[in-house]
């Protein structure tokens, strides 16, 4: 068995054993080393935090194996990323709704109406409306 295959098996086992942590966080990073004034690398590490401490797993110098680890990690983290994206969209929709509600409330004030929750109130004392002629005091 080739060393790359052994590292691939060890990486797959590690990902499976630490799936609960790595599904929430972690990344593959490239590092370089200096030896006798020369820059060597890149060497790849799987970096994550466990119990508040940074941990890492040495992947090696094979870019293909590092890319495979990135893909597997991205697949593990996809549900969390999708949930966070959904939450961002939901928060944006809520903010947009609140802004439109304020704009609507300002338009209603022109007629002497107001919002209470999502209900329009103040119809009895409405200054003018769609069925009330301009200047008419009757309704």
For the chain, domain boundaries = 3-77
Name the pTM for this structure: 0.69
3-class state of residue 121 by DSSP = strand
Judged against a pLDDT cut of 70, whether residue 117 lies above it is answered with yes
**pLDDT tens digit sequence for 16-73:** 999 999 999 999 999 999 999 999 999 999 999 999 999 999 999 999 999 999 999 9
Mean pLDDT of 101-122: 92
CA 138 to chain centre: 55
Q: SS3 sequence, 30-70?
A: EEEEEECCEEEEEEEEEEEEECCEEEEEEEECCHHHHHHHH
Judged against a pLDDT cut of 50, whether residue 81 lies above it is answered with yes
For the four alpha carbons of 22, 23, 24 and 30, in that order, the dihedral sign comes to positive
Q: Which residue has the higher pLDDT, 1 or 93?
A: 93
User: What is the structure's pLDDT at 125?
Assistant: 84
Judged against a pLDDT cut of 50, whether residue 139 lies above it is answered with no
Mention every residue, 6+ apart, whose C-beta is less than 8 A from residue 121. 113, 114, 115
Judged against a pLDDT cut of 90, whether residue 93 lies above it is answered with yes
| Alpha carbon distances (Å) from 28 to 100, 120, 134 | 43, 55, 70
């Amino acid at each position: 068995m080739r060393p790359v295959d052994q590292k691939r098996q060890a990486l797959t086992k590690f990902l499976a054993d630490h799936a609960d942590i790595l599904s929430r966080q972690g990344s593959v990073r490239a590092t370089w080393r200096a030896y006798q004034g020369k820059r060597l690398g890149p060497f790849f590490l799987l970096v994550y935090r466990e119990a508040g401490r940074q941990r890492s797993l040495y992947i090696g110098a094979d870019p293909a194996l590092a890319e495979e680890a990135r893909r597997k990690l991205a697949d593990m983290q996809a549900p969390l990323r999708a949930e966070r994206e959904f939450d961002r969209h939901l928060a944006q929709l809520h903010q947009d709704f609140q802004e439109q509600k304020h704009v609507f409330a300002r338009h209603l004030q022109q007629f002497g109406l107001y919002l209470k929750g999502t209900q329009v109130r103040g119809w009895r004392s409405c200054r003018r409306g769609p069925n009330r002629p301009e200047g008419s005091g009757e309704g």
